[in-house]
């Protein structure tokens, strides 16, 4: 049984279905068990296809699409489902006004962001790793939504499960580069010990970019993908455990 996290303001919006899906409820086996939706993983393609079909059915969607994510700030408007994986755009955010077309984001520590303007009937899904956030993927997503008639002061947004600050240790060079590009990000670096490397609050920074960009409301689910191995895939956890590959959970939104 699929077990999506739906504790977000999007749940109360009429005409919108969404879910930050966990790794439970699919057919994949081994290290991919069980709802691995990552086309780029080395999992059985038939199992991945069945998992994605289950997600679409759970949302009541006619089609489910995901982009070829490249940690960019590129947002594209999607009007149809592509029939072959090679058609997927190289982008990290998708926007649509087409009912029944579910937009999905694949993650394994990065932050999935789902957005909607129910009045304009526009929905979006963004893959927000640190590169995408500092590069402006949130702002690009909102601009694409506006091209379809959305208004920022009506947009509701939710940041889904991602690696938590306690598990997200980064380097001093990372912090210096980040602060040079966005001095306002300083509060999202945690220093528990002056001698220890800093930790980064990815979800908090994603929320800050949403608020700064002027959305009506933004919240985060608060779940840590690294800490909750029974519920979520995690790239960092797979690396720490010496695993050869890892699954990807999906977060998706659809206009009903």
- Going from the N-terminus, what domains does the chain have, and what CATH number goes with each? 9-162+218-255 (3.60.140.10)
What six digits make up the tokens of 52?
Answer: 């994605």
- Report pLDDT for 159: 98
What pTM was estimated for this model as a whole? Answer: 0.98
What six digits make up the tokens of 202?
Answer: 């990815």
Q: Is the dihedral of CA 101, 80, 129, 204 positive or negative?
A: negative
pLDDT for residue 113 is more than 90? yes
> What is the rounded average pLDDT for all residues in the chain?
96
Strands of the sheet with 93-96, listed across from one edge: 75-77, 93-96, 122-128, 111-117, 156-159, 217-220
Note the helical H segments in the chain.
45-59, 130-135, 137-147, 172-181, 202-213, 235-240
pLDDT band at 85 (very low <50, low <70, confident <90, very high): confident
Span 42-75, pLDDT tens digits = 999 999 999 999 999 999 999 999 999 999 999 9
- Report pLDDT for 194: 83
Tracing tokens 């009045």 back to the chain, one arrives at 119
Contact 109, 235 (CB under 8 A): yes
- Report pLDDT for 63: 97
Contacts of 130 (CB under 8 A, 6+ apart): 174, 178, 200, 202, 205
- Report pLDDT for 241: 96
């Amino acid at each position: 049984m699929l077990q999506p996290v739906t504790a977000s303001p999007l749940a109360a919006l009429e005409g919108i279905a969404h879910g930050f899906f966990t790794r439970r409820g699919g057919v994949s086996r081994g290290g991919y068990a069980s709802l691995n939706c990552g086309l780029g993983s080395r999992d059985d393609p038939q199992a991945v296809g069945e998992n994605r079909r289950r997600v679409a059915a759970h949302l009541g969607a006619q089609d489910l699409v995901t982009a070829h994510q490249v940690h960019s700030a590129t947002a594209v408007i999607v009007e149809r489902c592509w029939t072959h994986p090679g058609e997927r755009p190289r982008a990290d955010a998708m926007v649509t006004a087409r009912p029944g077309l579910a937009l999905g984001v694949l993650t394994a520590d990065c932050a999935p962001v789902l957005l909607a303007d129910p009045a304009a009937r526009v929905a979006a899904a963004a893959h927000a790793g640190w590169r995408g956030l500092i590069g402006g993927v949130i702002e690009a997503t909102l601009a694409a939504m506006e091209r379809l008639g959305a208004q920022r002061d009506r947009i509701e947004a939710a940041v889904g499960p991602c690696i938590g600050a306690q598990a997200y240790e980064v380097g001093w060079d990372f912090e210096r580069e980040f602060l040079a590009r966005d001095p306002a990000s300083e509060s999202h670096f945690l220093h528990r010990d002056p001698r220890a490397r800093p930790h980064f609050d990815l979800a908090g920074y994603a929320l800050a970019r949403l608020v700064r960009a002027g959305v009506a409301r933004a919240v985060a689910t608060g779940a840590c993908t690294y800490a909750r191995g029974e519920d979520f895939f995690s790239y960092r956890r797979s690396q720490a455990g010496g695993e050869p590959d890892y699954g990807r959970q999906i977060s998706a939104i659809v206009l009903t």
